[in-house]
């Protein structure tokens, strides 16, 4: 089994890290650059920075913040939010981002996945999927969980992988911020369907939830926000717990 990755996620709104529940009711959680530096030193494997209102407000992603993060941390990080063109991606990679996360722009124009993979390589292209479980289906949403689409999780994830995505970041809107655990059954189905890594997101509340994401959901990485931002779980103690549970992690 390959080493599993622990990825803190920093949702950024108006220059501050925030954390919501089911994509609403946001609370401030601190300075995104300082938090990133702390997580890097604690042993995080990667970071994800998402400008959560960029798509709905039609803005470009926060280049200056990306530049400051790159100057302070020494682990890979992914940036998402408001990325609509190869020029956007080129700009973000040039100031230090390692990967980009595409969500709304890819749903609206799936061909961008082919273009990104061809120009920059699949390893740069993370397709983020925000999906809510409704009437027996996982419905994909645009614009930070605000607009429902006709696409469903599994068929969209499969298309994204076929077009050249390097990873799928699946956030369960149903579980987001609830601290009730990840969407194990959906994660397991993604693992079964796709030849690329799956990042679990939405629902982490305890160290056991991470273990379940890896053992029950077969996720390759687990992303979380609130439990890290508010000091409920430290990355070092989480990795120690996972290692003692027989799950390989980078120490």
What residues act catalytically?
11, 130
Token pair 């120690």 in the structure block, residue: 240
> Under a CB-based contact definition with an 8 Å cutoff, are residues 45 and 201 in contact?
no
* C-beta atoms surrounding 49 within 10 Å: 28
Q: Collapsing DSSP states into helix, strand and coil, what is residue 124?
A: helix
User: Please, what sign has the CA dihedral across residues 116, 44, 172, 174?
Assistant: negative
Token readout for 250 is 């980078």
Closest CA to 210 of 182, 229, 237, 233: 182
Which two structure tokens, joined as six digits, stand for 66?
Answer: 């990306």
Q: Report helix, strand or coil for 146.
A: coil
């Amino acid at each position: 089994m390959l080493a599993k990755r622990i990825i803190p996620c920093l949702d950024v709104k108006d220059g501050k890290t925030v954390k919501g529940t089911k994509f609403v009711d946001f609370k401030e959680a601190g300075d995104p650059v300082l938090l990133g530096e702390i997580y890097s030193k604690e042993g995080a494997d990667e970071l994800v920075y998402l400008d959560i209102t960029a798509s709905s407000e039609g803005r470009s992603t926060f280049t200056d913040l990306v530049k400051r993060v790159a100057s302070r941390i020494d682990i890979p990080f992914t940036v998402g939010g408001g990325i609509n063109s190869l020029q956007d991606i080129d700009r973000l990679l040039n100031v230090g981002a390692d990967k980009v996360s595409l969500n709304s722009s890819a749903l609206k124009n799936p061909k961008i996945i082919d273009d990104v993979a061809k120009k920059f390589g699949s390893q740069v292209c993370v397709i983020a999927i925000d999906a809510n479980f409704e009437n027996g289906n996982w419905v994909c949403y645009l614009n930070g969980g605000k607009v429902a689409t006709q696409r469903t999780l599994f068929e969209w994830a499969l298309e994204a992988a076929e077009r050249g995505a390097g990873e799928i970041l699946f956030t369960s809107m149903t579980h987001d911020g609830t601290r009730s655990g990840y969407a194990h059954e959906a994660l397991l189905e993604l693992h079964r369907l796709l030849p690329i890594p799956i990042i679990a997101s939405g629902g982490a509340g305890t160290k056991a939830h991470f273990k379940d994401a890896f053992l029950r959901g077969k996720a390759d990485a687990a992303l979380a926000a609130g439990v890290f931002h508010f000091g409920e779980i430290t990355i070092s103690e989480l990795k120690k717990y996972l290692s003692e549970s027989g799950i390989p992690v980078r120490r």
